A and B are shown apart, each in its own frame.
Chain A
Amino acid sequence: MSKEKIKISEDLFDIMPSDYQDLVKSSTYGKEDRGWKDIGTSKELIEQHSLCAGCPESMAFRYILASLPNPEDTVMVGSTGCTSLVFPMVAVHNIHSLFGNQNAIASGLKRALSVRFPDRTKDVVVLAGDGATVDIGLDMTLQAWFRQEKFTTICFDNELYANTGGQESGLMQKGFVAKMAPVGKLFEKVRLPEIARESGCHYVVNCTVSKPSLVEKVIRNAVHIAREIGPTYLQLYTPCILEIGKNSMEGLQEMRDSEKPTERFAYKEYVSEPAKQLLAELAAKDKERKAAAKQLAGQATA
């Protein structure tokens, strides 16, 4: 499908806002090797965002959108929260679900898409905050994993309910005091990555979004494994700079500080045996493809 589907009528091309013209002329749809390096040189799938200036969620959004292996055939399912304000600017199909329902919606959607388009690869990716994933939507999150639904769940973990002003969430750290949680969290951060593994996820990663290349790798792995094998889960630290009292330039450092080996966002990865095999196969194919391309380029210059 790729760009063919998004042609603007010639007679009205000039009146389309430039975002749309750029999208059609220079988006990365259909490009096999698309990735975070395309950000800034080709049309991003997100033009502006309405998050707070410097919010790490905006970086995460850009890296994720640039890394989806199949954006024109991907449907993202969002939930209420800061992320939901960005989706209207995203040039990938997306559905806004009722707060907490995202994994239930994604389950039905993925099944419907495989019935409707049996010969086409359609990816479904859930992207929601920690309140939606771990508290209000925990039932839907877990049940989708138990049922081995084939889609990726991404949680933007900012360790509280940011969009409603800073209430306590299950992923908040023990003892943390927020504007609307003045007593301080009484229990430990819920260990959702481990729960995900025990609930049947085939690929689980807990990390920050400080390194775009790493985000690209885990997104690609998660989507490919979900497509072929079963549920995958990514928990990405996207600190709410507003609620933890940081300036707009300090989000990156906050992530770097939190990913040190002893810290709560030290890189952790779990890959099931079938998923390991799939990743090895994909890596081998990729190597072959690159070798063939190199050979072709060599022939062309010879």
Chain B
Amino acid sequence: MSDYRVLPGPEHFLPPAAASMGIRLPNPGEAHINGVIASEEKAYEEAAKQFLMAKVPTIFPGPLVLWAWNEKAAKKAAAIRQLYNTLKECVQPGQSPMLIPMPDYRPKYPKIDPEVEINPNHPNLTIWHNKIDCCMFVGVHCHQANLSLKIIRGGTSCYTIAMCAQAGHEDAMLSFRDASVEKIMKLADWVRKLKGTVQPRLTSAKSGASN
């Protein structure tokens, strides 16, 4: 197994694809944490902790859930909203959860508005602007998620979680696979369960995303 670990950056301008460093994807029923295969239960716990520790825990829903392509997409959207509401209920004063969409993958000229959206070609702008220190991608097509996750790892210190509907993402610091309404709700349950047990990183030197 590779010694490489997928950790918060800034790693450097062009971080290697984690897959090229020997990180492999989890099998069904598993997840990975920092590139090490872990049980799904462990991953729920760790993801919930990271959310509760963060100053600006953020969910980035992508086009697969923002648009009501079918009933399943709409249900996932509802679950994401619930996870976000749970985060708001469970954080402490000084923490500010955000829900920022990635509605489009095309690079936008002259620039995006980082307060209202994130774009996969320069996700760092949204992270820096809002000082996001932990984020979760959900409903983003694989290629765009990989691109974004690498850019974020390269240029910011933000902790990344992927709630992936397919085989998971090596380039996230923590990745689930086969995302479903149930899995999103289970993560919300874990956030509720750990409420008050995790110390937020509000005053530590590492708080906020760096560039």
Interface residues of A (CB under 8 A from B): 6-12, 15-17, 20, 50, 85, 87-89
Contact = CB atoms under 8 A, between A and B. Distances in A.
A8 B66 contact: yes
Contacts of B117: 17
A194 B117 CA distance: 47
B81 interface: yes
Given A87-B106, A88-B109, A89-B108, A9 B73 contact: yes
Given A16-B101, A17-B101, A17-B116, A8 B68 contact: yes
Contact of A12 (B80, B106, B109, B116): B80
Given A15-B99, A17-B113, A17-B117, A9 B77 contact: yes
A8 B66 CA distance: 6
A91 B110 CA distance: 17
Given A17-B116, A50-B109, A85-B109, A12 B65 contact: yes
Nearest to A9: B77
A127 to B, nearest CB: 16
B17 interface: no
A9 B107 contact: no
Contacts of A89: 108-109
Given A12-B61, A17-B117, A6 B67 contact: yes
A7 B68 contact: yes
B78 A11 contact: yes
Nearest to A87: B106
Q: Do most interface residues of chain A lie in helix, strand or loop, or is the interface mixed?
A: helix
Contact of B68 (A10, A50, A88): A10
B167 interface: no
Nearest to B100: A15
B101 A15 contact: yes
B103 interface: yes
Nearest to B101: A15
A297 B104 CA distance: 41
Interface string B77-88: 110110000000
Contact of B106 (A8, A10, A88): A88
Given A17-B113, A88-B106, A9 B101 contact: no
Nearest to A49: B109
B147 interface: no
Q: Nearest 9 CB-CB pairs, A to B?
A: A9-B77, A50-B109, A88-B106, A11-B81, A7-B68, A11-B77, A11-B78, A9-B68, A12-B77
Contact of A10 (B74, B109, B110): B74
21 contacts: A7-B67, A8-B67, A8-B68, A9-B76, A9-B78, A10-B74, A10-B77, A10-B78, A11-B74, A11-B78, A11-B80, A12-B65, A12-B66, A12-B80, A12-B101, A15-B61, A15-B116, A16-B103, A87-B106, A88-B106, A89-B108
B157 to A, nearest CB: 25
A15 B66 CA distance: 9
